[in-house]
Structure 1
Amino acid sequence: MQRVERGLGALAARSHRRPVLALGLAVLLAAVGGVLSLKLRLNANLVDLLPRSFESVQDLGELESRFGALGWVAVVGEGGDAASLRRFADDLAPQLEKLPGIRFVEKERTGAFFRDRALYFLSEEDLREVHRRLEARLTWERQRANPLYVPLVDEPEPSLDFSDLEAKYGGAAGQKLSGAKDDYYLDAKARRVVVLAKPETTSADLGYSRRIVDEVRALVDAQDLSRYGPGFRVDITGTFQKKLDQQQQIVRDIAVSSAVATALMLLYLLFHFRSPVAVGLVLTPVGAGLAWTYGLVALLYGQVNLLTGFLGAILGGLGVEHGIHLLGRYLQLRAQGEDSERATRESFTHTGGAALVSALVAALTFFVLGTSRFRAFREFGVIAGIGMLVLVAAYVLVLPALLGLTARLGWRPRHARVAPRESSMGRVLVRHRGVITAIAAVVLVGLFSQVPRVRFDYNFGTLEDQDLPSFVLDRQVNDIIGYSQTPVVVLTRDAREEHAMASALAQRQRERGKDSTIDFVASLSSLVPQDQPRKQAVLRDIHALLENVPEERLSAEQRAQVAELRRQTQAQPFTLADLPASVRQQFTGREGTAGGFVLVYPAVNQSDGQAVRALAREIRGVTPPGGGRVSAAGESMVMADILDMVTHEAPLILGGATLAVLLAMWMTLGGLRMAVLCLLPTVVSLLALIGLMPVVGLEFNYLNILIIPVLIGTTVDAGVHLLTRLASPGSDFVAVYSETGRAIAGGLLTSAMGFGALFLARHPGLNSVGALASLGFATNLLVMLVAFPALLLVLTARGHRKRRARLDSEVKERAAAGGTGPEHATP
C-alpha cells in the first residue's frame, strides 16, 4: 500500500508539472466519450432486464414470433349518448383496421352468438337436469289444472330457477368473452365507448409502439368529432400508451434529477470551499470521468436501463466526495507553507491513498452487485464499479494538472488557514464521550429491535405512477371490458395439446375454487363444445316440453325465460368455422394459423407481486400431455421471475458485498483489526437504517433493495479516512476530527445528493430508491460523526488506563524486587 501511495503521489506530481499535456489527454478522452455517449438510449422494458435463459423470457420471445402483441391500443370515445357512442365505434373501427401494423380491431362483443348457443356449453348431464326440472314443473301444472286432482300433501311448485347452473358455467370462456352487458364495449352511465386495436408487435419495442400510437392518434385527430355530439372527445390508453407514458416520465425524471443534483452540489461546494475556483477544481475531474464512463457504457451496452440512467447523478455525488478530501488536504498544506507541487504530491500520497482504497472498496461492492442475473442490478453494478475507478483516474490526471495550471497563473486560496479551526463538536465528544456513547447505544439498540418489522413490498403497482392519465383510463377500460387486457398465453404444439391444457387449467381452477388465481381459460377448443350431436337430441326434448308450458300461469319474468330457452334449444351445432371472425382472430397467430394458444385470464391484480407469483405457480403446476414444462408467456410470468430472482439473490449479494469489502480493506490497510474498525460504522448504520424503515413507513421493493449493498461500498470510506488519519503518529483527535470530519460530512452529503435527487422522481420505484438512499446516508453521517468517534474515545481512554495500570504495577514489582524506589524506576 505504501508503494501504491508513493506511485499515486508521483503520478500526481508529473501531471502537476505538465498540466497542458495531462489536460489535453483528458479533453481528448472526454470528447471521444461524449461522442460515443450520444448514441445511448433508455430501455425501461422490464423483460430486457432478465437473462435470456429464463423460461419467461424464452416463452415471451416465442409468443412474439408466433402470436404477436399482448395488450391493445385502446381508443376511448367519451361524452356522447349511447347511440352516438356506438356510431363512433362503427365509424372508427374500419379506419383503424386499414392502418399498417394493426392486425385487427374489436368494437363489440360476440354476445349474441354465444347467448344463442349457451346450452351447448352445459354438460349432457346438466342438460338432462334442465329437462327434468321442466318436466316436473309441467306435471305439477297439469295436475293443478285437473279439477279432479286432490293433492294428498301440500307440495310446493317445482322451481324453474336455473341460477345454480348459470353460476356453474358463468365463468366459461364464451360467457366471459361475450359479456353480460351491451354488445359494444360501452358504459352508458359514464358515456364512454372503447375500440380495441391489436398491433402486430409487442409493446416492448418502444420505437414501434410510438409509431403505432402516433398513427392512431393522427387518425383520431382527423375525425370530425362534432358529429357525435357537443363536447365529444377521444383519448388513447392500453399497454402501448402506458409504456410510452412511463418512458417519457423516466426521461423527465433523469433530466430533472440530474439537474437538481448538479445544482445542489454546486451550492454545497461553494459553501464548503468559499471559492468558485475550488468548485471548478472539484467538478472538472468529475465531468471528465463521467464522459469517459459513459463512453465505455456506450461501447459495452449501447443503452441505459431504469437504474443506470441515473448513474450520472449518483457517480457525480460519489466522485465529488474524493475531490472534497483531496482538495481540502491540498489547501491545508498550502496554508502551512508548502509549495503547490509538494502539496499536490503529499495530498495524493496519503489522502489519495485513502481515496483509492475507498474507491476500490466501493467498486468491489458494485462488482459484487454486478454478479446478479437481474440485468438492472448487473449493469448498475458493472457501470458504477467501472465509474468509481475511472473517477479516481480522472482525479489523478486532471486535478493535479489544474492545480499546476492555477499555481502558474498565481491563484492562491484566500480562505486557507495555517491551522484548521477546531470543531466545537470535537471538543464536546472528548468531554462527554461516555454520555454520548451511552445515549447512542440506547438509540441504536432501540432501532435494532425494530429490524424484524421491516417488510418487502411485493406490489408492482406502487412502483409505477398510477396517477398517469393513461393508467387511470386503462383501469376504467378494464371495468368496461370485464376482464384483464393482458392474459397469460400458454403456447401449445397442436390442437390435442391445446385442448388438454385448456381442460387441465380449467379443472385446476375449479378444484381451487375461490383460492384460484385464474378468472377463466379460453382457447378455440374450449369455445366449441364437444358431444354437440348428443346434446342436440336433449335440446330437442327440452324444446318439445317448452311447447307445452302454460304461459298464462307464468309471471312476466318466467315467460321471458321460457322464450329465451325456446330460442336456445333451436340452436344448431357449430364448428370452429362458424365462430365469429372477431373471436377466431383472437386465437390466430401472426402467420394466420388458428389455434395453438390457450389464454389464461388472471383473477388477481397483476400489480400484486405475491398474487402474480401464485398465478405463475398455478399455471406452471399443470403437467402438459407427454410431460415437460408449461410454456406460458406474459408480463405476469416475467414479474414473477423478477421477484423470485431478487428475493433469492438479495441475501447472497449482501453477504458477498460485506465479505468482499472486509477482505479488500484487510489487504489494503494491512490489518484485520483496522479493517473491522473501518467497516463497523457502516454495519451499525445499516442495521439502524433497516430498523428505522418501519418507523418512518418505508418498505423494501425489488428496486430499492440494491441500496443496501451500495451503502456498504459507498459509506465505508468515511471510516477509512478518519481512522487512517487518527492512526498517524502524533495525531490529535480534535484537530483530525475538525479537518477530516468536515470532509466526511461533505462527502456523505454530496453522495446523498446524487442518490437523493431520485427522491424528486415522479416514478414511485425510483423515488423509493432516492428516499432509502437519503435516509441511509443521513444515518451513516450520525453514526460516523457522533456515535463512532465517541466509542473510539471511550475505548482509547480505557486502553490508556489499562496501560498506565500495567506500568504502575510493573514499577511496584520492580521496586519490591530490587529495593529501588519509584523515583528510580524507568517510566
Structure 2
Amino acid sequence: MSFGRRGTSLPEGPSPRTRAWVAFLLRHGAIIWAIAIALGVFGTWRTVLVYAHLRSDLELLLPRQTPSVIALDELRERVSGLQYLSVIVDTGKPENMPAAERMLDDLAARVRTYPPDLVRAVRVGDAEERAFLEKHAALYLEESDLQAILDRVQARRDWEVSKETGTSLDDDPNAAPPLDFSDIEKKYDERTRGKGKTENGRFENAEMHTALMLVEATSYSSAQGKSAELFKRVKHDLAELGGPDKYAPGMRVGYAGDVAITVEETSALVSDLSLSAVLVLVFVFGSLLYYFRWWRAVVIILPPLGLATVLAFGIASLPPFNVTELNSNTAFLGSIIVGNGINVGIMLMSRYVEERRRGMPVEPALVLAVWGTRPGTLTAALAASASYGSLILTQFRGFRQFGYIGGLGMILAWVCAFVLMPPLTRWVDRGTVDPRPLSRDSFSVHVARLIKARPRAIVLICAAVTAVAVATIGRLDDSQLERDFAQLRRRDTWTVGEGYWGRRMDTLLGTYLTPMALLGDDGDQTRKNAASIRADRDDGRFGDMVNSVRTIDDVLPQHQPEKLALLEQIKDTMTPRIRASLPEDKKTTIERLLDESEDHPIAVEDLPPTFTTGLRERDGHYDRIVLVYPTPSKELWEGPALASFVGHLRQIAAENAPPGMRPARVAGSLSLSTDIIACIRRDGPKASFIALAGVMAIVLLLFRFTVATARVIVSLLVGVTWLLGLVVGFHIKINFINFIAFPITFGIGVEYAVNVMTRFIQDGGRDTSQAVRATGGAVALCSATTIIGYSSLLVAENRALFMFGLVAVLGEITCLTTAVIALPAWLESHALRDVEERRRDLPALREDEPRPSSR
C-alpha cells in the first residue's frame, strides 16, 4: 500500500503475499520459536556479560583519539598511584578527637595488610614528611636564602669583631646588624603549611570536628572492580572494629576521593537501573492489561520484545560493533528498547484484537492485522532506528554505542514482533478474546469527538502554541548547555554522599587531592612547563585555580653541593656569642637548621614515597612529569572555567615543546570533562541534523512524496518544535546524556504520525474518527509505555539520568499530542473545507443541468 497522488488512495486489502507469509508462520511456528529460544539463550548470555562491565567513568564516553583519553591511557602506563580513598570522621565535638585518632589508627593498621596490588600507601597524617623536611631543612632552602642567612651572620660577626677590637666607628649598641630571619622563616612556613588546616602532624582539625585517613590506590584506574573491592574491604574492616560508636558516641564516618566517586556513581547507576527495570515491567504490564482487557495479549507481546532486547545487546557486543561494556549513556538502554520497541507489538495486537472483536477468525484477523500495521510500523521502526543510528556517525563514544544498541533494538523489535507474534497468537488465542468493543468512555473516543466537533479551533490553538515555541527557541544559545558537572552527579551526594564529605576533605587539606599531570618526554621540557605554569599563576592568568605545582626539583633539592658548602660557612661563622645574640623565640629554629640538618646530599631513594607519588614512573624516570594541584573551588565543576584552565595548560605545553618533539600531554579528570563539553558542542547538532534527515528520507522512501507524507513530516517538526520550546522556556540544561532525547524524539514523532495517517488512508481518507478511536488509542498506549520507560528514570538518584528522563517524557508528550490531536484536527479541517466547497458548487451544478420539459 502507498499514499496516492493526494495521499488518499483507497485500501486494496491484504495481498496474496501477505496471506502466504502469515500461513507460513502459522505452519512452521514451532520451528521458528525453537530457533528464537536458542537465540534468546545466546542473547541473554551476552547481555549479562555486557551489564557485568557497567562503568561510570567519563572517559568511556569519549573517542579513543581524544587528547584527554590518550593522555589518561599514557598516565596509567607510566605512573602508579594518584587515586585515593579518604575515610573521614566527623567527631561531633572536639573532645572526641582522641577517639577518632584511635579508630583511624586501628583501621590503618588493617588496611596496611591489604595486597600491594590494591593499596600502595596509608596515611593518617604528614608527620613523617614534616620530620624529613626538618631533618634536611637547609637543603630545601633556596640557595639565595642560605646566602642571605650567611650574609646576615657575617655582618653580625664583623660588627662583633670590630666592637671587640675597638675599630667600630659606631658606639651605639642598637646599631648591631640584626639576626632576624623571620622573613625567610615565614616564606617557608607558608610553603610547608600550604592552605590546609591540619594540626599536630595529622590530617585533623579539632575546630572543624574532622579527622581523616588517606588510602592511596596502587593503580590509576577508573574501573569499578578494584575501586569496589577496596571500598568494600575498608567498610568491612571498619564494621569489624565496631564502627565509630564503639570509640565515641555521636561520631560519623564518610568516604571521599576518586575511589569513593567511582563506587558511588556506579552503585547509583546499578540501583537506578534495577528500580527502572521493576517500574517498567510493572507499569507496562498494567497498561497492556488495562487497554486490551485480555491478559493473553500481554503473553503474546512481551516474549518477542524480550528476545529483541537481549539480541540487541548480544549482537552489539560482537564485531564490528564491539560494545562489550556499558557506560552512563548506554546503561539504561534496556528500559528504552522495551519502552520504544513494544510499540510494534502494541500496534499489531491492537489491530488483531479489533478484528477479532468484530467476529473475524484467528487467521484472517492475523492477516488483516499484519497487512494493516506493517507499513506504519516498519516506517516507524526504520525511522526510530535511523534516529538512534545517527548517533553512530558522531565521534562521541557514548553516543555511538547508544546508536548501535538502540538502532539494532528497533529493527529487531519489528522483526521479532512480525515473525513470532502470529504463531504465538494462534497458540494462545482459543476463542477467548473479549468480544466487547472499545468502551465509549475511553479517552480516545472523547478525543475523536472533540476533533470532530472543533477541528479548526484545535488547529488554531496548535498554530498559536507553535508560534510561541518558535519565539522561545529564538533565545536558544550556548548557555543552554549544562556546564556545571556538579548537577550531573548522584542526587544526594552534596548532602550525605561523596560530594559532602569531599568538600570537608578539601577544606581540611586545602588542595584538590588528585592533580592534573603534564606528561613530558625529557627533564628540560618539564622544567620549562613548570616555570611557565608558576609564572602564569603568579601573574593571575589562572585566577585562583592553581594551588601548587610540583616536579622532582621541588621534592629533590637542587644544587645540593653548593647549599652544603654555604651551610658549613654558616656553621663556621655562627660563633657562640652570635648564637647567644639570637632572639630566644628564634634560637631553636636556627639551632635545628644548623645542628640537626644532614651534612650529605639527598638521593631520590631517600625521599618519602609520598614525595614522588605521581612523579615516579615505572621505568625509573622522575623528571618528566609536572603535577598541577588545583585549588578546591566551585570552578572545578563549571565548564567555562574548566575549559579555560585546561586550555591554558595545553597552550603552555605546546609553547614549550622542543623542536621535533610533541607537546606534553595534559591528563586528569578535569581535561576529560572539558573534552566532553567540546564533543557535545560539536557532535550534538550533527547528530540531530542526521537523525532528522534520516527519518525524513525513510518516510519519503517508503511512502513517496505525497500530501499525506508532507503532513506526517510537518507533524514531526511541530512536535520537535514544541519540545525545544519547552526545554528553552523552562531552562532545562542539555547535557551529555539527555541530548540523546532529541534525535530519539525524531523517530518517535514520526512513528505516531505515520501510524495514525496509515489508518486514516486505509479507512478511505475521509473520516478521522476511526483512526483516532482505534489507532489513536493504540498510539496513546505506545506512548504510555514509552513514557513509563522514561518516567522510571525520574526517580533515579543519578541527576543525569533524571534529566534524560525529563526531556524524553516531554518529547513523548509533544509528539503524541501532534500525532493524535493536531494531525487529525488538521485532516478534519481539510475534510470540512472540501465538503463546504462541494456544497457551494452544488447550486451552480444544478442550474447547469437540463430541466425536464413540461407536458
Moved more, 538-547 or 584-593: 538-547
2:462 is the alignment partner of 1:457? no
Contact 2:555 2:611 in 1 (8 A): no
1:491 is aligned to: 519
In 2 relative to 1, CA 89–399 (structure 1 residues): closer, same or farther, beyond 3 Å? closer
Alignment equivalent of 2:446, drawn from 395, 412, 424: 424
1:565-588 Cα distance to aligned partner (Å, 9 max, x none): 675588679645454443235532
Question: Matches of 2:185 and 2:458 in 1, distance apart?
Answer: 74
Greater Cα shift, 105-114 or 325-334: 105-114
1:88/1:336 Cα in 2 relative to 1: closer, same or farther (>3 Å)?
A: closer
8 Å Cα contact 2:61/2:329 also seen in 1? no
Alignment of 1:81-96 (within 5 A): 81-86=96-101, 93=108, 95-96=110-111
Q: What aligned pairs does 1:270-309 form with structure 2 within 5 A after superposition? A: 270-299=289-318, 300-309=322-331
Name structure 2 gaps, 5 residues minimum: 3-11, 159-168
Q: 2:783 aligns with which of 742, 748, 762?
A: 748
2:329 is equivalent to residue 312 of structure 1: no
C-alpha offsets along residues 336-381 of structure 1, whole Å, 9 cap, x if unaligned? 3433222211211121221011101111111111222222221111
In 2, the alpha carbon distance for the partners of 1:484 and 1:297 equals 39
SS of equivalent to 2:216: strand
What residue is the counterpart of 2:374 in the other structure? 352
3-state SS in 2 of match to 1:490? strand
* CA gap 1:148/1:730 in 2 versus in 1, 3 angstroms: closer
State how far apart, in whole Å, the 1-side matches of 2:35 and 2:609 are.
Answer: 67
**How much does 1:276 deviate?**
1.0
Counterpart in 2 of 1:245?
Answer: 264
Give the stretch that moved more between structures: 692-701 or 708-717.
692-701
1:395 to 401, 410, 417: 417
Q: Are 2:770 and 1:735 equivalent residues in the alignment?
A: yes
Match status 1:16 vs 2:26:
yes
The CA deviation at 1:310 is: 1.8
Mapped to 2, the partners of 1:519 and 1:263 lie a distance apart of 52
Cα distance in 1 for partners of 2:544, 2:58 equals 26
Asked if 2 retains the 8 angstrom alpha-carbon contact of 1:420 and 1:738, the reply is no
Residue 207 in structure 1 maps to residue 249 in structure 2: no
1:710 counterpart residue number: 744
Q: Which residue of 1 aligns with 2:165?
A: none
Provide the residue aligned with 1:413 in structure 2: 434
| 2:674 paired residue number | 640
Q: Give 1:44-443 correspondences, 5 Å limit.
A: 44=55, 45-77=57-89, 79=91, 81-86=96-101, 93=108, 95-100=110-115, 101=117, 102-109=119-126, 110-111=129-130, 113-114=132-133, 176=194, 181-221=199-239, 223=241, 229-231=247-249, 236-299=255-318, 300-407=322-429, 409-416=430-437, 423-443=445-465
Distance in 2 (alpha carbons) for counterparts of 1:121 and 1:9: 90
Q: Distance in 2 between matches of 1:429 and 1:259?
A: 37
CA root-mean-square deviation: 4.3
Deviation at 1:233, TM superposition (A): 6.9
CA separation of 1:750 and 1:579: change in aligned 2, threshold 3 A: same
After superposition, residues 641-660 of structure 1 pair within 5 angstroms as 641-660=675-694
Q: Offset of 1:667 from its aligned partner? A: 0.7
Q: Specify the alignment match of 1:664 in structure 2.
A: 698
Distance of 2:227 and 2:313 partners within structure 1: 27
Q: Is the partner of 2:211 in helix, strand or coil? A: strand
Q: Quick check: 1:756–1:770 contact (8 Å CA) kept in 2? A: yes
CA distance in 1, matches of 2:578, 2:466: 82
Q: Distance in 2 between matches of 1:87 and 1:352?
A: 72
SS at match of 1:38: helix
> Relative to structure 1, is the Cα distance of residues 122 and 396 closer, same or farther in structure 2, using a 3 angstrom cutoff?
same
Aligned partner of 1:764 among 799, 806, 820: 799
8 Å CA contact 1:88–1:228 kept in 2: the answer is no
Out of 486, 505, 509, the residue aligned to residue 537 of structure 2 is 509
1:650, distance to aligned residue in structure 2 (A): 0.2
Q: Which amino acid aligns with 1:625?
A: P
CA distance change for structure 1 residues 517 and 479 in 2, over 3 Å: closer, same or farther? closer
Contact 1:335 1:417 in 2 (8 A): no
Partner-residue secondary structure (3-state), 1:52: coil
- The Cα shift of 1:294 comes to 3.4
Of the candidates 824, 833, 847, which is equivalent to residue 789 of structure 1? 824
Q: For residues 323 and 343 of structure 2, what CA distance do their matches in structure 1 show?
A: 27
Number of paired residues?
A: 804
Query: Is the alpha carbon distance of 1:342 and 1:678 closer, same or farther for their aligned partners in structure 2, counting shifts above 3 Å?
Result: same
User: What's the counterpart of residue 674 of structure 1?
Assistant: 708
Stretch moving more, 493-502 or 231-240: 231-240
- For residues 541-580 of structure 1, the aligned pairs below 5 Å read 560=585, 564=589, 575-577=602-604, 579-580=607-608
> d(CA) in 2 for partners of 1:257 and 1:32?
24
SS in 1 for 2:212: strand
- Inter-CA distance 798–596: structure 2 relative to 1 (3 Å threshold): same
Which one of 616, 626, 641 corresponds to residue 646 of structure 2?
616
Query: 450-459 or 409-418, which moves further after superposition?
Result: 409-418
- One-letter identity of the residue aligned with 1:620: R
Question: Given the superposition, is the C-alpha separation of residues 113 and 778 from structure 1 closer, same or farther in structure 2, using an over 3 Å criterion?
Answer: same
From the superposition, tell whether residues 796 and 116 of structure 1 become closer, same or farther in structure 2 (CA, over 3 Å): farther
Distance in 2 separating the partners of 1:361 and 1:67:
47
Q: CA deviation at 1:653?
A: 0.6
- TM-aligned CA deviation for residue 175 of structure 1: 5.0
Is the contact made by 2:111 and 2:234 (CA closer than 8 Å) also made in structure 1? yes
**Range that drifts further, 542-551 or 679-688:** 542-551
- Is the aligned partner of 1:480 residue 2:505? no
Distance in 2 of aligned mates of 1:249 and 1:758: 12
DSSP 3-state at the match of 2:636: coil
Percent of matched pairs sharing the same residue: 23
- Give 1:492 shift: 2.5
| Deviation at residue 418 of structure 1 after TM alignment | 12
SS at match of 1:425: helix
SS in 1 for 2:49: coil
TM-score (norm 1): 0.85
* Cα 1:414–1:725 shift into 2, 3 Å: closer
Residue 389 of structure 1 deviates from its aligned partner by 0.8
| TM-score calculated relative to the size of structure 2 | 0.83
Amino acid at match of 1:405: W
Q: Distance in 2 between matches of 1:673 and 1:745?
A: 24
Query: Amino acid of the residue matched to residue 271 of structure 1?
Result: Y
- For residue 301 of structure 1, give the secondary structure of its aligned residue in structure 2: coil
Equivalent position SS for 1:373: coil
Does the aligned pair in 2 maintain the 1:366–1:381 contact within 8 Å?
Answer: yes
Of the structure 1 ranges 364-373 and 724-733, higher mean CA displacement relative to structure 2 is found in: 724-733
SS at match of 1:184: coil
Q: Distance in 2 between matches of 1:650 and 1:242?
A: 27
SS at 1:308's partner residue? Answer: coil
Q: Structure 1 pair 235/725, CA: closer, same or farther in 2 (3 Å)? A: closer
Supply the distance in 1 between the matched residues of 2:381 and 2:397 (Cα, whole angstroms). 23
5+ long unaligned stretches in structure 1 = 140-145, 152-156, 813-819
More displaced stretch, 589-598 vs 201-210: 589-598
Alpha-carbon offset, residue 666 of structure 1: 0.6
State the partner residue of 2:164: none
Secondary structure of 2:213's counterpart equals strand
Contact 1:26 1:397 in 2 (8 A): no
Distance 2:153 2:716 in 1: 78
**Superposition deviation, residue 727 in structure 1:** 3.0
* SS across alignment from 1:489: strand
Q: Which amino acid aligns with 2:347?
A: H
